[in-house]
Structure 1
Amino acid sequence: MRLHRLKVTAFGPYRRTEEIDFDELSSGGIFLLHGATGAGKTSVLDAVCFALYGEVPGVRPRNRLRSDHADPDQLTEVVLELTVGGRRLELTRRPEQERPKRRGTGTTVDKQFSALRELSSSTGEWTALSRSHQEIGEEIKQLLGMSREQFCQVVLLPQGQFATFLRADATKRGELLGRLFGTDRFVSAERWLFERRGAVEDRVRAQDQRLIALAHRMRQAAGPAVAEQPPPDTAPGEPELAERVLAWAAFARTAAREHADVAELALTAAESALKQAEGSLEAVRETADLQQRYADAQARSAELAAERGQYEAARERWTRASAAGQVAPALDARDTARRDHHAAEAARHRTCATLPDAPGSADELAERAGRLREDLGRLDVARRAEERINELIVARDKLDREAAADEQAERDTEIWLADWDQVRAAHQRRIDTAHEAAQLAVRLAGQLDAARTGVDAARRRDELVERERAVDERLLGAREAAVAARERWLELKDRRLRGIAAELAGELTDGEPCPVCGSADHPAPAEPGTGHVDRAMEERAQADYLRADESRAAAQLELHTVRERLSAVREAVRDQPVAELAARLAELESAHDEAARAAADARPAREAWELAEREHQRRIDARQRARARAADLLARRETLDAELSALRDQLAGLLDGQGGVAEHASRLERLAAAYTAAADAAKAAAGTAERLAQAEERLADAARRAGFDTVAQVCEARLDAEELRALGKRVEEYQARQAAVTRELADPEVRAAAASPPADPQRARATLDAAGERLREAFAVRQAARSRCAELDRLSAAAQRQTAELAPLREEYNRLRRLAELVSGSSAENQYRMRLESYVLAARLEQVAVAASLRLRRMSSGRYTLVHTDARISGRGRWGLGLRVVDAWTGTERDTTTLSGGETFFASLALALGLADVVTEEAGGVRLDTLFIDEGFGSLDEQTLDEVLDVLDGLRERDRAVGIVSHVADLRQRIPAQLEVVKGRYGSVVRQRSGAAAVSG
């Protein structure tokens, strides 16, 4: 990385724009940055850091970057041009700052601004790359390969800090190296290992607890089988817990299976006894049933003998009724013919009573009906004439109505057309009025949008004013809280450092080596004093401070946002009251609504005009059609009148004064129908009389064939179907009962059982119940034994699965425990009791010592060399972070704290340069062509100063430039290229002098 040009405006102590040409300063390899105290030398380095990272070194706030001497209209800005990674870039940064409004009074806040450009090697033109803070920050970090803290430590070498580093203890060195090399990840790895080990240990103990619970459940499941040998007494975490539980589970399963085998034998014996009792009970029941059947048969036989007389009478009655049933069809046919004949005679008498003259035979009545129908046929001609007359009358009436309607429509049309001119003018006026209202509504709409925007802006302005006041108050409270929290944190941190010995002593264990001195004896460990602060209290205070600072930053960002919005709103509406703007808006809305309602009538007005035009044309066309239709109706009416007169004359001749055609025809139809009905009734009565005589003859013949002398005997013996079926069923039932009793008494098994002694089923049942109870008891015992075996198998399988699952978990726990103890320095395998972070830092420190010694030997004329040691710096220090200085003149190795002031300076300078080399190499080998070294040269004698300058001059190899920040006057004579910062009452300015100019001067 090489710096080319830096331009600062209204930055720090610089009131106006100051530009620094680093290419000119670096032409000689070394240049001097000097000036009075407080002039602004460090501000040059701050500007470089701010341009690259958007922040300045240390804890200085960004809102204090603006120069207090700057004009209000002058914006604070830093522009840095540099080459990094083979790319020529230009960075522009402006912090958040207040400025006067361009219009009106008051101030507004400009947001933070960043811009990145790149110079094209082919075209020689600058190309904009980004204006995003995040994108630019990420791009610069990737190109440089280091954070802001690393950059400030490597490029802006704070030599004084490394003098402190030389004299610091291992803890302080570890903190500095940890920040530079980012070893927090190794601390996180240590913490993760301990947390992981604890989590796995909890899981192992939980698995052991479940194994113990399974053993107790197996004890309950086994019952009396393991009463003499309970499960082993174990505790979670014991190494052989699983093996002991599995061995006892095998014993419990074996004992349970032995009990199950005994229960199985007892069940088999009980089943055999039950089967024998069931067989005996079945035989006794069969004998008892046969004996009961014989007794029941004898009782039924006695009952049948008593019912014998009734059975004989019923059978005789059923026989005669069955014979009468054979004559029943002929008897029913005779009764039906008699009913039909009586009905036909009644109908003949009814029809003859309606005739105008005495009735005759059926043939005479039919002849009279025929003559009447002939007269009815001759009336058809008169009927058709009458129907046509009625049709003509209806048609003539319709023509009259149509002619009257046409006359009325023509009169209405003439009246409507008389007012057409006034109607047309009214429609035109309505259309014109709507068009004018539409134009007015368009004009008012534009004014209305502006008025609404103004009202909304005024309301937002008032809301933002209130919000600005509230956020400002909250920001003040957040700042006070952040300051108080930071003071509290720093106070607790200081108190903890003063009592750190007691904290370390609290971790000591008798018999175990001290992590500080390594001794296993702890004769007088430090005791915590009153108000002792531990790590947790300090971390909580730090967390409180970070939260308070985040709240302050959030409130500050919110205030900046509110002020930006308020400024934009005020530019739009200035200070006009909301009520005034709202009143104007209401007037415009009312006028616009009225104009909009009037303009909305434009389309209905146009449609009404078009409808009136169509109505005008329709009425003119209708008047013409009505006149043509009136002439046609007159001709058609004359034709209808002529035809109607002719038909009326014809009808009068046909009727000859007999009334109307319909009335005469109706009278003839009624007479013809009456004579026809009488003739039909006479014929039907003659037919039924003949059928009745035939039925009487067939009935007498059927009675004789059935064994009856007269028809009266048949009627007396006859029964209806239901009675006959009931009587037959009684006869059949008696016969069936008699046959069943006979079969039952003749059965040899029944007769043999009757001859045997009486059977006793209750006694056999009692024997069977006793056998069943013994079987149920044996079955329950067998099932319980099987259940115990199955439960023990299930629980044993669960214990085996759990043991198999626990094996890799326990192996993982052992591995994690060993690793955690190794990285924490508490393992015997860790020879130096060195933590992982300390180990990494020790490796880095060893690299730094090697790189620093190359320059230290030259600065000290080959006398001093820095070496790294893994031993403790003091009896209670950290391992691996020791630094020793080897004096080649005496051949001794001593502590770095024994160096004199001048020796400490060039030793710390060599250490800073060595650290820069190591950090640069870790950052990806990014070449740093521009370095700055701050102060410390005043402690050197003339010879040592020459040697230090020779070393620094050696850094120029391959075109590297070194800037020295110093007050030493001798350096102004030794270094021709200089950048002087001159302070004044109204701000500082820079004066640049190149090496060539100094030589020529």
Structure 2
Amino acid sequence: ALKKEESCETGALQDTVIKLTRTEADLGVALEELKRLESQWIEGQAAILAARLIPGAPCPVCGSRDHPTPASSDYEPPNEKLLKTKSSRVDALRSSVDQIRQEKAGFEIRLSQIRADEDARKERLVDFESKTVGEIETELESFRKELKNADAARKKAIDLTTQFENLEITVAEGSEVCLKTEQQRNESMIGLQRLQGELSALKGQLPEDFQDVKALERAIAGNRKSIKSQEEAFEKSRQAAARANEQVHSCQAAVKAAEDGAAHCSKRLLVQSEEFRRNLLQAGFPEEAAFRGARRSPAEIRTMEKEIAVFDSGIGAATDRLSRARLNAESVTQPDMAELQSAADQARNALESAIKEEATLVARLQQIERSRSEHAESARLLRSLEERYAVIGRISQAANGINKDGITFQRFVLAALLDDVLFAASKRFRIMTNNRFHLQRVARRSDRRVPGGLDLEVHDTYTGSARPVNTLSGGESFLASLSLALGLADVVQGYAGGIHLDTIFVDEGFGSLDPESLDLALRALMDLRQEGRLVGIISHVPELTERIDARLEVTTGRKGSSARFVV
């Protein structure tokens, strides 16, 4: 049976190892595929944004309405649904790997236990294999004879018990002694019931063939406790029970012989194995369970021998005390069995309640263990999600502007472009304002309700401090706008490479300038003209007609407007 069980467990373990190897391989493939798809998804985001661009519509990243070279991809990037599906498969494979590893550990533990049991059984069979079936049957026949002798000793002990009861009746003449010994009798009956319970437990561990021997032990143990409890009450009755003392010694010797035979029988039966089960059936054992129930370990046998030796040493003293007690006892009243039975019922009910409470606590403990395992699994999943979120969440926060500056990814890109525009615009703004002003981007976030990173301010060299652009006068605002337009043109031309801005038109705004500012603004526009650009000015300021030689004059009249070139 053990060989078959070991073979089954070994096969199951091998299947589990193969299953674990395959599942781990599938997990590795799934992880590689997930990493590849995530890489393609990240690389394909620019192509996805480019595919959504509409001609003439502003770019969601830079805001430009021109899309000269949109990004492209050689393959279609995966969608988020596919990524979620692959991620779920990876999580499922990880759970399967953990479960299979637990099953593998369980198979290994059970296989080790089976092999240990097999080794122990082989050691016990070493002595048994040297014996023949005939020798075993001879030993069993000897055991049966010893059991018969023990049964005869039991009957003899019963007779002795009857004689003891008769002697107790004959000496039960003193009411005063009875009152003194009544309490001792009650205590002896309680001890008797306790020992009877212990003997019943021992009886359940023995084969059916040895039940009569345990009944003998119970009767002798009852007499022994009765003798001990009546030591003082029966001190004067020693002479009347002298012959009973001799019979008790004889009974004790018979009991010892029966105990020795039972111990010897148990020790011999320990070496019986499954290969001789049919021989055990012929010897009187109905099944293997009866054989296993009859086994006793050497330690238990030594314990029983010590108990018998203690009993032997105490029976003599008990008999002497019994003799003295019988001389002094005048009468003995039979204890109240109903009261003792009630106490026993109460103890039995308390035991049953304790057993039920233990079962309830065990079930609760199992539930707590299951909850603890589920909590540990949830904690493991939470740690895994936190590890994933540590990177993805940080990227999301940075891209969506969840930071102290309120700068999103788009505004960060635009801020870099704006810095270049402001650098180019400030060069012209200084010229137009006689080195008083230059534009710069606000580094701090003044209002946390709105995103930051793209606000402008003007630095005034006269005061040495910066102030918002909305504090500029009308003329200063026009010069700042003109500088930004020219700076943006320079930056776009520098970024685009092949694109060249040849013409620029300025509509109105010059009327708000004082003569000095007007002169500086026109000087900056003339510098653009010298660089090869065509500068057009639309204005009603009369002073411009004196400074611009080539112009298109538009005159209104009753018949409509007329235009003429002045060169």
TM range (shorter): 0.3 to 0.5
Q: Which has the larger radius of gyration?
A: 1
> Structure 2-normalised TM-score?
0.37
Query: Which structure would you say has the larger RCO, counting Cα contacts within 8 Å and 6 or more residues apart?
Result: 1
